[in-house]
Amino acid sequence: MDAVTAPAAPPAPRAPWWPWVVLVLAGVAAYANSFRVPLLLDDVASIAENPSLRRLWPLSEVLSPPANVGLGGRPLANLAFALNYAAGGTTVAGYHAVNLALHLAAGCLLFALLRRTLLLPALARFSAHAAEIAGAAALLWTLHPLQTNAVTYLSQRTEVLMALLYLAT
């Protein structure tokens, strides 16, 4: 006796390319002027005065930042800063570029999640415009003034990482 199998559900349509491009270009345009901003406030303690960033090995030291540097208890952020330090020392442009890249990755991930959600059968009334709605929401989130500190204030990489990793779960 042959087993009867239900036909597979059709795959979700591919997302158009333009929302990704608009999101990234708008984010770069909005935050590119921050690449020359010097270390501010907690940035000095978290980056310039943080001895655990100077070497990538032993990894246990990188993942155990001193409590007095603002990154105590935040091993992933400290590792990200240590990788930045290994690539460019205390040159601020590299730190700003990584913060912006992480923020744009979170914005793109938000777009993808919203679009997939709007394509669910329960939300069929939105499916025809899922990319536009998701793109607008992700663009608003990416460019919203509340995000400025998370992107331009270097020690707030912890917030950018939190957003990215939360959206990735």
> Which pTM value belongs to this model?
0.88
First to last CA, the chain: 42
Average pLDDT over every residue of 130-159: 94
Greatest extent of the chain over all pairs of C-alpha atoms, in Å: 73
Give the HSE-up count for residue 101: Cα atoms under 13 Å, Cβ half-sphere.
8
Tell me the average pLDDT of the chain. 92
pLDDT 10s digits, 7-30 = 665 666 677 899 999 999 999 999
Would you kindly state where each structural domain of the chain is located, as residue ranges? 18-168
Residue 36 in tokens: 């020359």
